[in-house]
């Protein structure tokens, strides 16, 4: 009997551990661009919870214990969905705090250099600089139409932007885990963390506190701290 009870307690410990995984994955990883791995981790944790509970039912003969554990599992699952909005707010805060110094330093450099107003870069492919497209590949150069795609170095010369500074900005953006930034006349800077179709997650620096939106309308606008805000659409 003691042996079965020990196994039951051990399995309950595993169930409690697995129940924490979706909360941890959401708060620490959902803003890092690993959305699908985060979701898969939560799904895998759910599978482990189900299999662990099956083992628990096998070793635990007391019915009311089994019902109690099952009720606890469903309670935590409901709590996860009820508190999901709070978890996303926590995820924004954690994401920013881990990178706070780098964000502040980058904003200072953007304001100091002044010439780069917006930047998006895809390594080895191309991107956009001050709302003009560029490519690293000669075969992709297309100067026709209203939205031409320049050769990388030709665009730098056209905009009088230093190549090393541009590379530094691209590396800083990558280091922050962001895909682009956009500046505004009042000094605000929006950093897009990730985006898919018409949805994006953005961290914004602004001294006015007024919403600054890149795509469409902001569905939420939340203060993280001081002059930093998080929003999505």
Instruction: Answer whether residue 57 shows pLDDT above 90.
Output: no
The one-character DSSP state at 34 is -
Residues 41, 21: contact at Cβ < 8 Å?
Answer: yes
Q: How far apart are CA 171 and CA 141, in angstroms?
A: 23
CA dist 40 and 79 (Å) reads 19
State pLDDT tens for residues 189-207.
999 887 654 677 888 999 8
Kindly state the average pLDDT of the residues 205-221.
75
- Mean pLDDT (the chain) is 85
Two tokens, residue 202? 């953005």
142 band by pLDDT with thresholds 50, 70 and 90: confident
94-103 pLDDT tens trace: 999 999 999 9
Phi, psi of 204 (to 5 degrees): -125, 135
Which tokens in the block code for residue 62?
Answer: 């007391």
Distance set, CA 190 to CA 105, 222, 231 (Å): 14, 14, 10
pLDDT in tens, 143-172: 877 788 899 999 999 999 999 999 999 999
**pTM confidence score:** 0.80
Non-local CB neighbours of 120 within 8 Å, separated by 6+ positions: 127, 128, 129, 179, 180
pLDDT of residue 130: 92
Asked if 157 contacts 172 with a C-beta cutoff of 8 angstroms, the reply is no
Higher-pLDDT residue of 114, 233: 114
Burial of 105 (0-12, 13-18, 19+ CB in 10 A): exposed
Dist. CA 7–CA 61, nearest whole Å = 12
Alpha-helical regions (H) of the chain: 2-29, 35-59, 63-82, 84-113, 152-159, 163-176
């Amino acid at each position: 009997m003691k042996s079965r009870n020990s196994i039951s307690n051990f399995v309950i410990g595993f169930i409690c551990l697995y129940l924490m995984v979706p909360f941890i994955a959401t708060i620490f990883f959902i803003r890092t661009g690993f959305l699908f791995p985060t979701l898969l981790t939560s799904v895998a944790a759910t599978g482990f919870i189900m299999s662990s509970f099956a083992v628990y039912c096998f070793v635990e003969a007391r019915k009311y214990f089994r019902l109690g554990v099952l009720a606890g599992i469903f309670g935590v699952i409901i709590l996860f969905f009820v508190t999901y909005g709070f978890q996303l707010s926590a995820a924004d805060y954690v994401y920013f705090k881990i990178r706070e110094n780098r964000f502040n330093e980058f904003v200072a450099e953007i304001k100091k250099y002044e010439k780069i107003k917006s930047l998006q870069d895809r390594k080895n492919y191309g991107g956009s600089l001050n709302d003009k497209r560029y490519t690293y590949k000669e075969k992709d150069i297309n100067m026709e139409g209203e939205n031409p795609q320049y050769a990388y170095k030709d665009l730098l010369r056209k905009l009088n932007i230093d190549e090393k500074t541009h590379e530094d900005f691209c590396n800083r953006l990558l280091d922050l885990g962001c895909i682009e930034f956009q500046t505004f006349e009042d000094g605000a800077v929006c950093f897009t963390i990730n985006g898919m179709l018409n949805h994006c997650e953005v961290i914004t620096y602004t001294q006015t506190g007024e919403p600054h939106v890149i795509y469409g309308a902001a569905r939420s606008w939340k203060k993280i701290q001081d002059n930093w805000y998080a929003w999505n659409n």
